[in-house]
């Protein structure tokens, strides 16, 4: 009897050993989902990360990727979307979003390869026209980076920026007003916005070198307050807010309601702009948002952004004209020249009457870019302001302080925090360029397609990445009085020590010359090509794999005497014979691709190893995650000799 009791207790213990962790995992994911559904992405990331570490799965990875994308942490988003897009069960949305974050991170050729994968699989999910814009945006971004607009200067306003977001800077009655979610002292939990983990937006005013919070309380419990637009002639302020719903609004909306943005106005003379503010005609808190208000100088026209029904898609830009009795007329959509299926935001007009706005639906570098339309009457084409005004990140909320000068916001890398305020001048005179080439240190031949990175030191501007041309050449536009580091990388070459230089003391237009020499790998030195993936059970070369093979071609072209072996490997699942044949087909495909690029077949050896050379512990019968198995589905190459 004692034996049976012991055995029963053992079985019960084993069951509990399995059930308790499963229950904990379920509870953790349920909590994470609640935070995600409530747009509390910071907390959701923390919970999903713990869940993924305990038990990796596709859905958790998907939620982590989406959460990081929503908070605009594109580097982390790239990591998670890469796992999703290169998984055997990759969805079209995964591949498309992976392309977007690659573009945000200045990896334009890689992004285009993902868009090409989408084109092969989409079948109506995304239109051909939208894909063509994405292709063209990748190509154009490379051209813009290599040929920056010469008459543009962009400078971070360090004295006003914090580790949180600042944007919407515009000239007001007694200073420069902007919106920020910065921390003012110890923040209480009930004033934290779950989406960002920061306080709700408030309005601030900058006077000389001081920044103060605008005292504008809201009786109904405003959450976000700002940004704003002013008309001195009308003695008015218009501003965006989110507020708590009234009891009647809650009843009308039901339980699943999104609190939308609204626009309110007040007199500049009011002691408290939030008190007794007047609602805008098109406010509809339970149905759609209206925001990004911009008043013309005369105060007779108000431009705004909305996702109300009847638009082109996403958020569109509208305008209303003031009537004789002071009320606003009917809203007019700005039409196809401005609005797209994407998001259009932050309208503005300069002193010459040209119209500006931000969009992620036009030909752009990534995220929101700023565009100009000459005049506002018969607009036919929106022109991207190019680089360095725009970046692969979000660039928006342009406002003019004087002709061709003003302020905009960007979350480009190198800033003080999330969104930063930048001063710009569209009529800069001094032009400093950097030109150079990337070469094989051994042969002195050019290295095609090397990734060249220019990084400012101590300046809050974006690091710039370009790919060297077929002749190994590259070109950058430089800022005045700035220290830089220059580096390059290419498959088949060792890491390059960054080269330092400075533009300090240069006060006239000039071109600097800097060449980079990369040291090639030695004989028998293995190079793992982590970015060469194949669709499940196939050996076709995908567009993203082709990019990696192009890098090998560049390495081989830089030293015509080199011979290499391309080896393909599989994970331990499936039979040994089948995997040996599959990996040989994949190695053969890689070699055939290189031959199609002009590499002599005599310089290439294709070898499939099946799962005879695993890179980790995932041998036959060992339980491993999909990600661990994918680590073994790799392609490698190494130099096996040369003709010398």
Per-position DSSP letters for 35-74, written without gaps between them: HHHTT-HHHHHHHHHHHHHHS--HHHHHHHHHHHHHTT-H
What pLDDT is attached to residue 222?
60
pLDDT surpasses 50 at 3:
no
Q: How confident is the model at residue 211 (pLDDT cuts 50, 70, 90)?
A: confident
What pLDDT is attached to residue 588?
92
- For 405-429, the DSSP string reads EEEEEE--TTSSSSSEEEEEETT--
Claim to verify: residue 493 and residue 631 sit in the same structural domain = no
Claim to verify: residue 175 and residue 318 sit in the same structural domain = yes
- Surface-to-core class of residue 459, CB atoms within 10 Å of its CB (0-12 exposed, 13-18 middle, 19+ buried): middle
Q: Which of these, 312, 427, 303, lies nearest to 362 by C-alpha position?
A: 312
160: which DSSP letter? T
What pLDDT is attached to residue 280?
95
- In the listed set 367, 402, 425, which residue is the last one of a domain according to the structure? 425
What pLDDT is attached to residue 466?
82
Q: How confident is the model at residue 439 (pLDDT cuts 50, 70, 90)?
A: very high
Question: Distance between CA 586 and CA 633 in Å, rounded?
Answer: 11
What pLDDT is attached to residue 18?
47
The terminus-to-terminus CA distance of the chain in angstroms comes to 82
pLDDT surpasses 60 at 562:
yes
Average confidence (pLDDT) over 567-571? 88
What pLDDT is attached to residue 90?
82
Claim to verify: residue 13 and residue 113 sit in the same structural domain = yes
Q: Which of these, 228, 214, 301, 305, lies nearest to 265 by C-alpha position?
A: 228
Claim to verify: residue 405 and residue 453 sit in the same structural domain = no
Q: Quick one: CA torsion of 399, 402, 404, 409, rounded to 10 degrees?
A: -30
E strands present in 283-394: 290-295, 301-306, 316-321, 332-333, 344-349, 355-359, 369-373, 383-384
What pLDDT is attached to residue 25?
67
Claim to verify: residue 404 and residue 444 sit in the same structural domain = no
Least confident interval from 321-325, 376-380, 556-560, 571-575: 376-380
Q: How confident is the model at residue 423 (pLDDT cuts 50, 70, 90)?
A: very high
pLDDT surpasses 70 at 376:
no
Run of H or E residues at 547: helix 543-557
Average confidence (pLDDT) over 87-107? 88
Claim to verify: residue 171 and residue 217 sit in the same structural domain = yes
Cβ-contact 611, 562 below 8 angstroms: no
Average confidence (pLDDT) over 30-46? 87
121: which DSSP letter? H
Question: Across the strands, what pairs with 369?
Answer: 359
Residues 6+ apart with CB under 8 A from 30: none
What pLDDT is attached to residue 20?
47
Claim to verify: residue 511 and residue 548 sit in the same structural domain = no
Question: Distance between CA 458 and CA 482 in Å, rounded?
Answer: 8
What pLDDT is attached to residue 445?
94
Claim to verify: residue 505 and residue 534 sit in the same structural domain = no
Percent of the chain with pLDDT over 70: 90
Q: Are strands 262-267 and 236-243 parallel, antiparallel or unpaired?
A: antiparallel
What pLDDT is attached to residue 348?
95
| Tokens found for residue 396 | 């928006």
88: which DSSP letter? T
Q: Quick one: CA torsion of 126, 130, 132, 138, rounded to 10 degrees?
A: -110
pLDDT digit string, tens, across residues 474-525: 988 887 778 899 999 999 999 999 999 998 888 777 889 999 999 998 887 7
pLDDT surpasses 60 at 7:
no
CA 134 to each of CA 129, 215, 341, 343, 468: distance values in angstroms, whole numbers, following the listed order: 9, 44, 13, 15, 22
Higher pLDDT, 579 or 20: 579
Question: Distance between CA 157 and CA 162 in Å, rounded?
Answer: 10
pLDDT surpasses 60 at 249:
yes
CATH classification of the domain holding 444: 2.60.40.10
Per the structure, the complete domain to which residue 386 belongs is given by 153-425
Whether residue 388 is preceded by a cis peptide bond, meaning omega within 30 degrees of 0, is: yes
Number of residues that this document lists for the chain: 644
| Tokens found for residue 378 | 């018969």
181: which DSSP letter? -
- In the listed set 99, 131, 146, which residue is the last one of a domain according to the structure? 146
Q: How confident is the model at residue 343 (pLDDT cuts 50, 70, 90)?
A: very high
Tokens 């980076």, residue located: 145
User: Mean pLDDT, the chain, as a whole number?
Assistant: 85
CATH classification of the domain holding 20: 1.25.40.10
What pLDDT is attached to residue 409?
95
pLDDT digit string, tens, across residues 252-282: 777 666 778 999 999 988 888 887 889 999 9
Provide the 3-class DSSP secondary structure of residue 62: helix
Q: State the CB neighbour count (10 A cutoff) for residue 46.
A: 15
Question: Distance between CA 67 and CA 77 in Å, rounded?
Answer: 8
Question: Distance between CA 350 and CA 385 in Å, rounded?
Answer: 14
Cβ-contact 75, 105 below 8 angstroms: yes
pLDDT digit string, tens, across residues 232-242: 888 999 999 98
Claim to verify: residue 369 and residue 453 sit in the same structural domain = no
SS3 content of the chain, % helix, strand, coil (to 5): 25, 30, 45
Average confidence (pLDDT) over 417-426? 90
Q: Which of these, 454, 604, 582, lies nearest to 516 by C-alpha position?
A: 454
Q: Using only C-alpha atoms, what is the Rg of the chain?
A: 28
What pLDDT is attached to residue 272?
84
Claim to verify: residue 136 and residue 161 sit in the same structural domain = no
- In the listed set 491, 518, 545, which residue is the last one of a domain according to the structure? 518
Residues 6+ apart with CB under 8 A from 2: none
Domain count of the chain? 4
pLDDT surpasses 80 at 642:
no
Provide the 3-class DSSP secondary structure of residue 279: strand
Q: Which of these, 282, 248, 247, lies nearest to 262 by C-alpha position?
A: 282
pLDDT surpasses 90 at 140:
no
Higher pLDDT, 220 or 564: 564
Claim to verify: residue 398 and residue 296 sit in the same structural domain = yes
pLDDT digit string, tens, across residues 182-207: 887 655 546 777 778 888 888 899 98
Higher pLDDT, 535 or 449: 449
What pLDDT is attached to residue 188?
55
What pLDDT is attached to residue 420?
92
Residue 610 backbone phi and psi in degrees, to 5: 55, -130
| Tokens found for residue 142 | 């490379």
CATH classification of the domain holding 267: 2.115.10
Residues 6+ apart with CB under 8 A from 350: 356, 400, 403, 404, 406
Claim to verify: residue 345 and residue 478 sit in the same structural domain = no
């Amino acid at each position: 009897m004692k034996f049976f009791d012991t055995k029963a207790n053992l079985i019960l213990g084993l069951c509990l050993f399995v059930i308790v962790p499963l229950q904990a995992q379920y509870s953790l994911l349920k909590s994470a989902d609640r935070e995600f559904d409530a747009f509390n992405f910071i907390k959701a990331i923390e919970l999903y990360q713990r869940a993924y570490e305990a038990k990796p799965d596709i859905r958790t990875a998907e939620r982590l990727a989406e959460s990081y994308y929503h908070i605009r942490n594109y580097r982390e988003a790239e990591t998670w979307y890469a796992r999703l897009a290169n998984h055997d069960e990759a969805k079209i949305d995964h591949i498309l979003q992976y392309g977007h974050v690659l573009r945000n991170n200045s990896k334009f050729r890689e992004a285009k390869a993902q868009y090409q994968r989408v084109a092969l699989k989409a079948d109506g999910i995304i239109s051909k026209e939208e894909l063509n814009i994405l292709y063209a945006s990748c190509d154009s971004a490379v051209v813009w980076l290599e040929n920056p607009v010469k008459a543009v200067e962009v400078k971070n306003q360090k004295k006003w920026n914090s580790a949180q977001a600042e944007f919407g800077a515009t000239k007001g009655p007694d200073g420069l007003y902007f919106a920020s979610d910065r921390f003012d002292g110890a923040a209480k939990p009930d004033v934290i916005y779950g989406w960002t983990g920061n306080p709700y937006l408030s309005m601030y005013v900058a006077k000389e070198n001081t920044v103060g919070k605008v005292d504008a309380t809201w009786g109904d419990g405003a959450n976000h307050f700002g940004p704003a637009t002013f008309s001195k002639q009308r003695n008015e302020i218009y501003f965006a807010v989110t507020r708590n719903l009234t009891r009647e609004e809650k009843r009308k909306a039901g339980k699943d309601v999104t609190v939308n943005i609204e626009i309110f106005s007040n007199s500049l003379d009011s002691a408290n702009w939030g008190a007794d503010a007047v609602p805008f005609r098109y406010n509809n808190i339970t149905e759609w948002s209206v925001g990004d208000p911009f008043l013309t100088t005369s105060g007779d026209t108000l431009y705004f952004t909305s996702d109300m029904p009847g638009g082109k898609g996403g958020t569109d830009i509208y305008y209303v004209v003031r009537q004789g009795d002071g009320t606003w007329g009917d809203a007019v959509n700005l039409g196809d020249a401005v609005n797209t299926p994407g998001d259009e935001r932050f309208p503005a007009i300069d002193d010459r009457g040209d119209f500006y706005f931000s969009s992620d639906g036009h030909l752009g570098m990534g995220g929101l870019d700023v565009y100009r339309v000459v005049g506002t009457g018969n607009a036919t084409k929106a022109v991207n302001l190019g680089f360095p005004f725009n970046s692969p990140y979000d660039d928006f909320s342009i406002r003019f302080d004087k002709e061709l000068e003003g302020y905009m916001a960007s979350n480009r890398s190198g800033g003080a925090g999330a969104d930063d305020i930048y001063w710009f001048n569209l009529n800069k005179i001094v032009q400093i360029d950097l030109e150079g080439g990337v070469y094989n240190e051994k042969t002195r031949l050019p290295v095609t397609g090397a990734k060249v990175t220019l990084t400012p030191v101590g300046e809050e501007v974006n690091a710039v990445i370009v790919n060297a041309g077929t002749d190994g050449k590259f070109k950058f536009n430089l800022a005045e009085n700035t220290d830089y580091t220059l580096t390059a990388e290419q498959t088949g070459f060792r890491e390059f020590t960054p080269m330092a230089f400075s533009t300090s003391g240069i006060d006239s237009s000039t071109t600097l010359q800097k060449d980079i020499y990369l040291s090639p790998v030695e004989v028998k030195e293995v190079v793992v090509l982590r970015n060469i993936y194949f669709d499940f059970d196939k050996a076709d070369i995908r567009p993203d794999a082709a990019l990696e093979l192009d890098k090998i071609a560049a390495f081989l072209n830089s030293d015509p005497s080199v011979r290499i072996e391309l080896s393909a490997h599989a994970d331990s699942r499936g039979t040994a014979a089948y995997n040996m044949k599959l990996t040989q087909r994949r190695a053969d495909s890689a070699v055939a691709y290189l031959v199609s690029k002009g590499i002599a077949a005599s310089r290439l050896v294709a070898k499939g190893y099946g799962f005879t050379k695993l890179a980790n512990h995932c041998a036959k019968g060992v339980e491993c995650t999909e990600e661990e198995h994918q680590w073994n589905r790799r392609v490698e190459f190494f130099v096996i000799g040369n003709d010398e």
